[in-house]
Structures are given as C-alpha cells and as structure tokens.
Structure 1
Amino acid sequence: MKVIVTGSLGHISKPLTQALLQQGHQVTVISSDPEKEKDIEALGASAAIGTIEDVNFLTKTFTGADAVYTMLPPPNLFDPNLDIKSDFLNISNNYVQAIQQSGVKRVVHLSSVGAHLDQGTGFILFHRQAESILSNLQEVAITFMRPVGFYYNLFTFSGVIKATGVMSSNYGADDIIPWVSPIDIATAIAEELTTPQTGNKVRYVASEELTCNEVASTLGAAIGQPDLQWILITDEELQSRYESMGMNKTIVAWLAEMQANMHNGAFYEDYYLNRPALGKVKLTEFAKEFAAAF
C-alpha cells in the first residue's frame, strides 16, 4: 500500500511510519521542515516537504495514495495570538478538499477522547468539529482515533513536583484516568490504515487505567520520592498557576474546563461505553523516561 503520514516525525507519526515500513508499505511523510527530509529518508520513507495549510500541496501529495493519516498539529499554548478555532477549521477543510480532489478512499484521523461532547471540553471541542467536517466526505471510509491522555503530558508536572513536593491539578487523587503511549496509538493507527473498511467509525486507544495517586506513586518511585501524592486544587488555583507561566489566558480557561470534566467523569463517558483492549506500553516504562528528564 501507498500511505501518506502527516505530522512529520512527531511522537505518533515516527513510530507509525516505522511500523508501516516494517510491514512493507510505501510511506510518504509530510513535514513543513526541510531539515527533516534526511531523517525521514533515513527511516526508508519518502519526504514531502510542504505545509498542510496548502491545499494544492496536500492534493498533489495525497494523489495516488491508498490511505492517508491526518492530524491537527498541537497548538502553541503560550502564543498570545493563537486562534485554535480558525486554525483547526482551516486545516480540516483543507483535508476535505485534498481528499476529495485526490480520490483517496481510506482515511485515519487523529481526534481525541472527549470529542463526543459538545461543550465543556475546551479546545477538544475543535476535534469534535474536525470529525464533523470530515464526516461530510462521501464514499470515503474514515476511522476517528480517540486516544486518551498521553503519558508524556505528565512531564508538565516536573516543575510542580520540584517546587511543592506533590503533583496537583483540578483533577487527581483517586480519579481514575486512562493513559496512553504514542507507541500504542501508532500501532492502532497502522492497523486501521491497512484494514479494509466501509463507512466511518470511532476507535479509542488506551494503554492503562490508573488512579492519579497510582500515577504519582509510580512516578515517585522512579524519581526517588516513593511517597509522592497527587492532590486536588481548585479551578482558580490551576488557572493562576498557568497564567503565571505566561500561558494564553483563553487556553488556560479551556484547560481548566476540560480537566474539571475529567474530574467529574463526563469526559470519559463514551470511552467507557466503547472501552478498547489496553495497549502494551505501561506507565512503569514511561516512568523511566520521566525520571531521566526529571
């Protein structure tokens, strides 16, 4: 198969590219960074240097492909001029136009847990919007991948642990949160890209389900703080912390809103109704990376 991968050599796209190549597929990786071309080719893939904001480039790159993996690039949360709604809307529409014009019939799109909700999810709401836009495609089979919280998001707690001796957020303690490794996401995406399908479907991806205190205990053991705890703080305390870091205030409000719904469980309702088999990579493996970075 000829497969197009967006996302350059990011956390998911790199292991996805490697998995597809190992299976014998022909892979082209889209990157906006010319410096990545040699790294992409070193893996055995072809590089398409351009931007997903360019519909003509996308259409040309997609043409002749058997399947395409699409994603929305992670936003810069510290950009004061960030307009996620507009950016995600434009990219989603670009994908639709390029898929239509190129004739691609199989698409796997990276969405997010929480995309089943129409409010209370912050910027995850725009993943829901992207799903809706892509769903308008005719005669195209689409899998919407909805991974849960990424292990590597836990890196953001390093500073808090060093400063306060605990992990803290407006979700935590005994809240049960599903987590996922990018490796397990890539494995699931590779399966979907290479599996025939008619119509659209949603697939959740998770590696492990743990209470936040279990997460704290595992990370604490890895960094030599076995009594590490994850405590709950208020939405206001969380917003004050993020704003003091220089984060975009709109994003701060969205994060607080989203994480409040993680705490009350609404964020994961559809996940538990469509619970996936858990992946292979467990938190104990990520904890080694966390400790090395800590």
Structure 2
Amino acid sequence: MKIIVTGSLGNISKPLTEELLSKGHEVTVISSNAERTSDIETLGAKAAIGTMENVDFLTETFRGADVVYAMEAINHGVFFNHEIDFIQANIQIAKNYKEAIEKSGVKNIIHLSSIGAHMEKGNGILAFHYEVEKILNELPEDVSIKFMRPVGFYYNMYAFIPTIQSQNAIIQNYGGDEKEPWVSPLDIASVIAEEIEKPFNGREIRYIASEEISPNEIAKTLGEAIGKPDLKWLEIPDEDLLNNLTNAGMNPKTAKGFVEMNAARKGGILYDDYFKNRPVLGRIKVKDFAKDFAKAYQNS
C-alpha cells in the first residue's frame, strides 16, 4: 500500500515507518525539516518536505494514498512561547487536514488522538483532541477514520528530572497508589501498523496502553534505576504546580491546561472511557523505559 506518515522521524513516526517498510509498503514521510530528507531516504521511504499549515502541500502529498497517518506534530517548545495558543494551533492543523483529505480524495485515515478526547471539558490541554476528532468526524461518510487514543507517554516522565535533581522527589498535583495507564511510543507504532493493515469500516476508536501503574510504583521503579531507591512522589496543590510552571516560563494558558489535565487524573475522571474500552496492554513496561530514563538522568 501507499502510506503517508506525518510527524517526520519522531518518537512514533520513525518506528512506524520502519515497520511499514519492513512489511513492503511504500511510505512517504512528511517533515518540515529539509535536513531530515537524507535520514528518511536512508530508511527506504520517500521524503515530502512541507508544513501542516500548507493545505496545498498536504493535498498533493495525500493524493493517491491508500492510507494517511495524521498527527498534530507541534514542537513542545511552544509550551514556553507566550505568543502561541497551543490548543488553537492544533485545531487549525486539524482543519487543514480535513480540507486536504477532502481535496485529495484519500479515503482511509488513521489519526493520532489521545486519552481524554471523549471529554468536551475538564481535560485541560487535551481539549484540542476532542475538538480535532469533532472536526475530522465532519468528513464525508465514505472517509473511514480510525482514532488512536494513546494514554500518557513514558517519555513525558523526562520532565520529572529537574525536581528529582533539585529536590530529590517527583512533584506533581496528583499521586498515590491508584493505577493509571501509560504507554511507550514503540507500542503505539506497533498498534498503528497493525491497524493500517486491517479493514477500515467507518469511524472507529482504539485505546493504546503499555502498562497500568501507580505514581508511587513509578517513583520506586525510576528511583531504583537512577540509584535513588528512596525516591518519593510528592503531591502538591494545583495552585502550587501552576505557580511552578509559570515561574519556569511556561505560557500561562498552557500551564493552566497542564494542571487541569493532571487534576482530571485524580479519581480516574480522565480514564472513564478508557476503562470501558480497555485495550490489551503492550509489551514495553515502565521497568524497560527506566533504563532510558536513567541514561537521560545521568546525562542531564
């Protein structure tokens, strides 16, 4: 099949591209960075250099494809840009995707959505996923869409490193012994590759998770990996976390969204629909990720 992969050679898109190529598919990888061309071609894929803001570029790249894997790939550096509204920027990309899909005539879409996309409000920064799914669902009925809803990514835990170094603790506005789902990008890539080869039938949703584990268990696992077996996960009030994030320079609106998202984890509100549609867990566990975490910690 001819498959378009967005997200350049990111944490999901690179292993996805490699798996699709190994199965004999023709893959085109979209990247905004021309310097990635060589790396993409070395894998055996075709590079399409352009941006998600350019509808004409997207339309021409999508044209003739059997499947498009679409994700909103905004660099996390914008979290600290006070001029960019992160949620609205992602919503605009979704509108661009919708227009390009209609104009190109592609009929099979796999979209990287997220846990929390079932919630119209109360999900903080994840609110854009609800809006994006709504926009894509406006496409004609003959366009089949598989919405992939991964849970929290393991690599988001790298953000714990500064407070571990400075205060010898993981500090968030949620915590405790209640298990919640986390996921490896490698497991996400495997699921997407699997779904690409399965029939497309209208609109479908699939959650993706690797392990269900509590904050306290995460602290123990990461602590052991970095030589701090007594590492603790400390829960602080929402207001304190908001102050910490804004003092670090994060866009105030984005910081508020992060705090609200984390608050929705407490009591499982964020995971209501996930547990109603619980997936088979992937192969990569936090103990596996902890090896990479330890390397990042030692090199930071």
Class of the TM-score when normalised by the shorter of the 2 chains: over 0.9
* Identical amino acids, percent of aligned pairs: 52
Alignment of 1:143-182 (within 5 A): 143-182=146-185
Pairing 1:60–2:63 present: no
Structure 2 match to 1:49: 49
| CA–CA distance in structure 1, aligned partners of residues 87 and 211 of structure 2 | 31
- 1:265 positional shift: 1.1
Instruction: Kindly indicate whether residue 240 of structure 2 is the aligned counterpart of residue 226 of structure 1.
Output: no
TM-superposed deviation, 1:83: 1.4
> Hey, what's the Cα distance between the residues in 1 that align with 2:178 and 2:240?
18
Contact 1:147–1:180 (CA<8 Å) still a contact in 2? yes
Q: Which residue of 1 aligns with 2:211?
A: 208
Matches within 5 A, 1:274-293: 274-293=277-296
Contact 1:8 1:31 in 2 (8 A): yes
1:222-271 per-position Cα deviation (integer Å, ceiling 9, x unaligned): 00011111121100111111112111111111111110011121000000
**Deviation of 1:117 (Å):** 0.7
CA contact 2:79–2:86 (8 Å) conserved in 1: no
Tell me, in whole angstroms, the C-alpha distance in 1 between the residues paired with 2:65 and 2:293. 38
Counterpart position of 1:187: 190
Contact 1:217 1:226 in 2 (8 A): yes
Query: How well do the aligned residues superpose, as a CA RMSD in angstroms?
Result: 0.9
Alpha-carbon distance in 1 for matches of 2:16, 2:88? 28
The CA distance in 2 between the partners of 1:194 and 1:83, in whole Å, is 36
2:79 aligns to what SS in structure 1? coil
SS at match of 2:227: coil
Task: Specify the SS of the correspondent of 2:69.
Answer: strand
Which residue does the alignment assign to 1:123?
A: 125
Measured against aligned partners, the alpha-carbon deviations of 1:26-80 in whole angstroms (never above 9, x if no partner) come to: 0000000000000000100000001111111001000110000000123421001
CA–CA distance in 1 between the matches of 2:181 and 2:268?
Answer: 11
User: Could you tell me how far apart the structure 1 residues matched to 2:211 and 2:87 are?
Assistant: 31
Letter of the aligned partner of 1:126 in structure 2?
F
Structure 1 stretches of 4+ with a deviation exceeding 2 A read none
Give the equivalent residue in structure 2 for 1:37.
37
1:270 aligned partner:
273
Task: For residue 89 of structure 1, report the CA deviation from its aligned partner.
Answer: 2.3
Match of 1:136 in 2: 138
Q: Distance in 2 between matches of 1:173 and 1:123?
A: 22
Q: Runs of 5+ in structure 2 lacking a partner?
A: none
> Which residue type is aligned with residue 113 of structure 1?
I
CA contact (8 A) 1:62 1:68 kept: yes
Query: TM-score, structure 1 length as denominator?
Result: 0.98
2-side partners of 1:190 and 1:173: how far apart? 35
SS at match of 2:80: coil
Contact kept, 8 Å, 2:88 with 2:128, in 1: the verdict is no
Distance, in Å, in 1 between the alignment partners of 2:61 and 2:172 is 42
Match of 2:115 in 1: 113
What code does the residue aligned with 1:27 have? V
Contact 1:178/1:210 (<8 A) preserved: yes
What is the CA deviation profile of residues 95-150 of structure 1, one whole-angstrom value per residue up to 9, with x for unaligned ones? 11111111111100001101111111112111110001101111011011110000
SS in 2 for 1:77: helix
Secondary structure of the corresponding residue to residue 40 of structure 1: helix
Match of 1:78 in 2: 80
Cα deviation for residue 155 of structure 1 reads 0.3
